Structure 1
Amino acid sequence: MRVLLSTYGSRGDVEPLVGLAARLRGLGAEVRMCAPPDEEFVALLTGAGVPHTPVGPPMVSMVRPSSPADTSRRVSELAALFDTVSAAAEGCDGLLATGLAHFASRSVAEKLGIPYVYATFCPYLLPSPHHAPPSAALLPGRSLPPEVTGNRALWDLNAQSYNALHGEALNAHRASIGLPPVNDVRDFIFTDHPWLATDPTLGPWQETPDLDVVRTGVWILPDERPLPAALVTFLDAGTPPVYVGFGSMRLVSEDIARVAIEAVRAQGRRALVGRGWANLALIDDSDDCFVIGEVNQQALFPQVAAVVHHGGAGTTTTAARAGAPQVVVPQAGDQSYWAGRVAGLGIGAAHDGPVPTTESLSAVLQTALTPATRVRATAVAAKIRTDGTTVAATRLIDALSRKRPPVSAVNRNGRKQPRIGADT
């Protein structure tokens, strides 16, 4: 059995898919993967032994669209990855996509007539009457009608925004490859049967009749790499430090490293700074601080006093598994959701806004460093499940072995086909 896994996004999109790939291979499937060509992703895939087809420009070079016109151009670029993804999908029995890969990947599956699954790593992104949309529901520059307050009405506006921002570019590409237009872009992206790869304690899903969600649990890639010797020496030289890192976030505030180090010192702690894509650096030569590149966070986080981070799903989960108290300084996307979950579960604190001051960060860090937070973080760590990749891989192989037709696709006779992964 051959499976194509396709993603276009940051490490938070790539690494879970590599974890799933490893489990699929362990169950006997042949796996290929489409992912951005960034060096760290290539190294990750090579280390896992997963064949890699590079797609699109490196994620580290991407700039967030600043206008509807920029967004339309981005969608055209993503849809145009169709040819590369299609070549990688030749001979595959099914295709699973995450991140921004949906614009090309779903059309590929539809064109080839193979089963398709879209998976997401945050429940906040899925339409539900139980929560509002994750960001502005309307087009940029338009104000929200004062009479629109209910979640369902906000999601309706959110769907209109998807159509207005993405519909023309997406359908122009679909027409060029002989596929019919999409009337509802948001439903096209998520399908009516998306898979949710989150831990049920950290990222729970409340059932809704509007969407049939398959909950697999979080996808974790086990990391057996040893910590660098210099880092071990620093850890052993004093009390547990506070880790500060913003992962794949490039556009953090200029002085965030200074602010973070000063906030950590204000709590009488040592600081361990992760460079990340923002290339954070130390502010002086004091021996109470140490800077590191990409390391095994699964091995590191159990040894720190707290983790200050941007609130990516992967970092949040890794810190939670380690029982490390967290401070989330959300920068974009779903990170405000994870900040809220960390604060709500009592396993850390959420900073109000993306640009902290020394005083504001020190205040929330003080909360995270209390004994009560550590006790709660330890208790929640014991609840985090690690079988998500096994659940997802087993379900995917079972569905493909029964040769179920594409999810929510329309066959050549115009009839809607059954959904992959649906219970029978």
Structure 2
Amino acid sequence: MRVLLSTYGSRGDVEPLAGLAERLRGLGAEVRVCAPPDEDFVRRLAAVGVPLVPVGPSARELTLAAPTPSSLPRYAAELIATQFEVVAAAAEGCDAVLATGMLPTAAGALSVAEKLGIRAVSATFQQLDLPSPHHPPLAYPGRPFPPGVTDNRVLWDLDARSVDTLFGEALNTNRVANGLPPVDRVRAYVVGDRPWLATDPVLDPWREVPGLDVVQTGAWILPDVHPLPAELVSFLDSGTPPVYVGFGSMPMHASADIARVAVEAVRAQGRRLVVARGWAGLDSIDDRDDCFVVGEVNQQALFGRVAAVVHHGGAGTTTTAARAGASQVVVAQATDQPYWARRVVDLGVGVAHDGPAPTTESLSAALRAALDPETRARATAVAGMIRADGATVAARLLLDEAGRGRPPASA
């Protein structure tokens, strides 16, 4: 079996595919991954023996450039066109395509599979992409929902119109040029009737929606066997458990002084800290020996040795911290991150910071609550509930899908 996994997005969109790819290879499949050409993505996939087929510009550069609402359709059009070029070549000879990541690029990848007559699956790493009367959609930049509208069904209808306005023309122009019929509702095309939700059911419980057969596989986690650096181990061994501070792929535009704020807030609680540079470029603020700065690191091993994890609320980091039994402080920045912050609070495993730009005082107060023994005990209890087999479940399902043969190709 030969499988193509396609995404465009940040580390949180690529990391789960590494976990799925590793399990697929373990079951004997040949795997290719189309993803942005960022060096850390290339390294991560190479570690599991999977080549990255580069598609589009660097995700980091695009994130740091922060496209304006008016430029979003142009960026999306360029990304969709690239999908038709790159993914089409990579998918040749494949038995199945799994598409995830940004909605317009997923639409492009699914269209390529349709053109080639390849079995295709649409997947997401957070349920806010899936229409439901139980939660509202995420608003696109520059297209806020009307104030006072609270009916989720109405909001999802407005979201569908926004998606069509932003991405419909670009998608259909490429579809027609490739011999495919235009689609009327872009979001409905991407979601389909049976989308996959690659999240843990304890952290992200899905409530059934008529007409939408959601397959919740569990999170796709790649076991990280890399040892922690010797210098970091020495730091961890030399005192009480530190607090981890890192914001992953978030540039932290809302808080230019976030490194100083974080260091001072942790010190105010009498704790040492481990600071992850990430895309925000965090660093130590002085030469005191209570702060250790890391780059790429095994979070699965590290989070089991810290007193708390301060992070941005990405699905991957939230899941990794929960599996490790670490208390969490979520400083949500955008998109689905406020949702994960609420889930952390609802589960009793941490605190949601009020707003994206913490001060020393506000972050210190949040940490104080997260370090409470009751929160720590609850985090330990929840850790034992998290599934570890999500990638295996998804890999077997995908190979079953691939084994059903090719659907009729579009003319």
Q: C-alpha separation between the residues in 1 aligned to 2:220 and 2:339?
A: 18
Partner of residue 300, structure 1 = 302
Partner of residue 262, structure 1 = 264
Partner of residue 332, structure 1 = 334
Q: Given that residues 4 and 31 in structure 2 are in contact (C-alpha distance below 8 angstroms), is that contact kept between their aligned partners in structure 1?
A: yes
In the TM superposition, residue 141 of structure 1 has moved relative to its aligned partner by: 6.0
Partner of residue 316, structure 1 = 318
In the TM superposition, residue 404 of structure 1 has moved relative to its aligned partner by: 5.8
In the TM superposition, residue 3 of structure 1 has moved relative to its aligned partner by: 0.6
- Of stretches 122-131 and 319-328 in structure 1, the one that deviates more from structure 2 is 122-131
Q: Given that residues 348 and 375 in structure 2 are in contact (C-alpha distance below 8 angstroms), is that contact kept between their aligned partners in structure 1?
A: yes
Partner of residue 99, structure 2 = 97
The two structures have a TM-score, normalised by structure 2, of 0.95
Deviation string 1:76-120 (CA, Å, 9 cap, x unpaired) is: 111112111100000001100110231320111011011111110
Letter in 2 for 1:89: A
Partner of residue 421, structure 1 = none
For residue 99 of structure 1, give the secondary structure of its aligned residue in structure 2.
coil
Partner of residue 206, structure 2 = 205
Could you say if the C-alpha distance between residues 212 and 141 of structure 1 is closer, same or farther in structure 2, counting changes exceeding 3 Å? closer
Q: C-alpha separation between the residues in 1 aligned to 2:133 and 2:143?
A: 25
Q: C-alpha separation between the residues in 1 aligned to 2:143 and 2:94?
A: 43
Partner of residue 16, structure 1 = 16
Partner of residue 393, structure 2 = 391
Partner of residue 415, structure 1 = none
- Of stretches 166-175 and 364-373 in structure 1, the one that deviates more from structure 2 is 166-175
Q: Given that residues 262 and 358 in structure 1 are in contact (C-alpha distance below 8 angstroms), is that contact kept between their aligned partners in structure 2?
A: yes
Q: C-alpha separation between the residues in 2 aligned to 1:199 and 1:145?
A: 32
Partner of residue 40, structure 1 = 40
Letter in 1 for 2:120: Y
Q: C-alpha separation between the residues in 1 aligned to 2:143 and 2:397?
A: 43
Q: C-alpha separation between the residues in 2 aligned to 1:264 and 1:40?
A: 28
1:3 matches 2:3: yes
Partner of residue 418, structure 1 = none
Could you say if the C-alpha distance between residues 323 and 37 of structure 1 is closer, same or farther in structure 2, counting changes exceeding 3 Å? same
Deviation string 1:251-305 (CA, Å, 9 cap, x unpaired) is: 4421001111111011111111000011101111111111111100001000000
Partner of residue 377, structure 1 = 379
Q: C-alpha separation between the residues in 1 aligned to 2:45 and 2:17?
A: 10
Q: C-alpha separation between the residues in 2 aligned to 1:64 and 1:124?
A: 22
In the TM superposition, residue 403 of structure 1 has moved relative to its aligned partner by: 1.7
- 5 Å-filtered alignment, 1:2-401, equals 2-62=2-62, 63-68=65-70, 70-81=71-82, 82-100=84-102, 101-135=105-139, 140=142, 144=146, 146=148, 148-252=149-253, 253-401=255-403
Letter in 2 for 1:108: V
Q: C-alpha separation between the residues in 2 aligned to 1:133 and 1:3?
A: 31
The two structures have a TM-score, normalised by structure 1, of 0.93
Could you say if the C-alpha distance between residues 222 and 56 of structure 1 is closer, same or farther in structure 2, counting changes exceeding 3 Å? same
Q: Given that residues 180 and 410 in structure 2 are in contact (C-alpha distance below 8 angstroms), is that contact kept between their aligned partners in structure 1?
A: no
Q: C-alpha separation between the residues in 2 aligned to 1:149 and 1:314?
A: 29
Q: Given that residues 224 and 298 in structure 2 are in contact (C-alpha distance below 8 angstroms), is that contact kept between their aligned partners in structure 1?
A: yes
In the TM superposition, residue 60 of structure 1 has moved relative to its aligned partner by: 1.1
For residue 254 of structure 1, give the secondary structure of its aligned residue in structure 2.
coil
Q: C-alpha separation between the residues in 1 aligned to 2:128 and 2:143?
A: 24
For residue 352 of structure 1, give the secondary structure of its aligned residue in structure 2.
coil
Q: Given that residues 75 and 103 in structure 1 are in contact (C-alpha distance below 8 angstroms), is that contact kept between their aligned partners in structure 2?
A: no
For residue 47 of structure 2, give the secondary structure of its aligned residue in structure 1.
helix
Q: Given that residues 145 and 155 in structure 2 are in contact (C-alpha distance below 8 angstroms), is that contact kept between their aligned partners in structure 1?
A: no
Q: Given that residues 71 and 166 in structure 1 are in contact (C-alpha distance below 8 angstroms), is that contact kept between their aligned partners in structure 2?
A: no
Structure 1's unaligned 5+ residue stretches are 413-424
Q: Given that residues 42 and 51 in structure 2 are in contact (C-alpha distance below 8 angstroms), is that contact kept between their aligned partners in structure 1?
A: no
In the TM superposition, residue 396 of structure 1 has moved relative to its aligned partner by: 1.1
Q: Given that residues 192 and 212 in structure 1 are in contact (C-alpha distance below 8 angstroms), is that contact kept between their aligned partners in structure 2?
A: yes
Q: Given that residues 125 and 334 in structure 1 are in contact (C-alpha distance below 8 angstroms), is that contact kept between their aligned partners in structure 2?
A: no
Q: Given that residues 117 and 406 in structure 2 are in contact (C-alpha distance below 8 angstroms), is that contact kept between their aligned partners in structure 1?
A: no
In the TM superposition, residue 140 of structure 1 has moved relative to its aligned partner by: 2.8
Q: Given that residues 128 and 135 in structure 2 are in contact (C-alpha distance below 8 angstroms), is that contact kept between their aligned partners in structure 1?
A: yes
Letter in 2 for 1:380: V
Q: C-alpha separation between the residues in 2 aligned to 1:125 and 1:233?
A: 42
